[in-house]
Amino acid sequence: MLFELPKLDYAYNALEPYIDARTMEIHHTKHHAGYTDKLNDALKGTGLENQSIEQILSKVSSLPLAIRNNGGGYYNHNLFWKVMRPAGGGEPSGDLANAIKKVFGSFDSFKKKFSDASATRFGSGWAWLVKTGSGLKVTSTPNQDNPLMDISDTKGTPILALDVWEHAYYLHYQNRRPDYIAAFWNVINWDEVNKRFR
């Protein structure tokens, strides 16, 4: 196996009541595991087997669609699990807090911008806080695309990610994506986001 499904740092029920245990378990053991297996299958015989996922994603425009979709799915969920934790939420501190204030005016205006990006992404996709050469940007992408990909409109290093595919929330929230987005703010691991920002 080239890429491996990572273990979570917390139990499937650890993010309740904001994200339910059944959703977490299916999301990790079925969806994320599926992207990982299919990525490994798609990489066989391509000569890319020894490259990092970041290197692979940086040139997806020239690679088979299965690598773009499953490589994105593999990377995006790795990041998503890391930027959440039980008893998370609140606001960031330190360098990241200062950068958010500088770019967005205030934490609340950043929060609104990120929530809007999450809510208005049509169909399946992701919302992102991205570190760029010049600072920070909020954006969203369709399907399993992300800002590391050469096909992305906004490029940079993702430091916060929210999965807005229906599989991420439908069991508990059904069609109420805005309620799921509001709940996400209670489980963000700002220490991890700050670390990635630095």
**Identity of the residue, 73 or 92, whose beta carbon is nearer to Mn ion in the bound complex:** 73
- Least CB distance from residue 24 to Mn ion, whole Å? 11
Can residue 145 be called a binding residue for Mn ion (CB under 5 A)?
Answer: no
Distance CA(189)–CA(155), nearest Å, equals 23
Q: What angle do CA 59, 32, 44 make, to 5 degrees?
A: 50
Can residue 163 be called a binding residue for Mn ion (CB under 5 A)?
Answer: yes
Distance CA(20)–CA(15), nearest Å, equals 7
Return the residue nearest Mn ion (CB atom): 163
The pair of structure tokens assigned to 176 is: 């109420």
- Least CB distance from residue 32 to Mn ion, whole Å? 7
Which residue from 4, 126, 8 is spatially nearest to 72, judged by alpha carbons?
A: 126
Query: How many Å from the N-terminal Cα to the C-terminal Cα in the chain?
Result: 31
- Least CB distance from residue 90 to Mn ion, whole Å? 24
Please give the single-letter amino acid code of residue 47: G
- The label of the residue with tokens 């969203």 reads 140
Stretch that binds Mn ion, among 93-101, 126-134, 155-163, 173-181 (CB under 5 A): 155-163
**Identity of the residue, 104 or 180, whose beta carbon is nearer to Mn ion in the bound complex:** 180
- Least CB distance from residue 163 to Mn ion, whole Å? 4
Please give the single-letter amino acid code of residue 66: A
Stretch that binds Mn ion, among 30-38, 49-57, 58-66, 121-129 (CB under 5 A): 30-38
- Least CB distance from residue 155 to Mn ion, whole Å? 22
**Identity of the residue, 104 or 144, whose beta carbon is nearer to Mn ion in the bound complex:** 144
The pair of structure tokens assigned to 194 is: 């700050």
**Identity of the residue, 102 or 167, whose beta carbon is nearer to Mn ion in the bound complex:** 167
Residue 30 region by backbone torsions, left for phi larger than 0, else alpha for psi between -120 and 50, else beta: alpha
**Identity of the residue, 165 or 180, whose beta carbon is nearer to Mn ion in the bound complex:** 165
Question: In angstroms, what is the C-alpha Rg of the chain?
Answer: 16
- Least CB distance from residue 109 to Mn ion, whole Å? 27
Binding site for Mn ion (CB under 5 A): 31, 163, 165
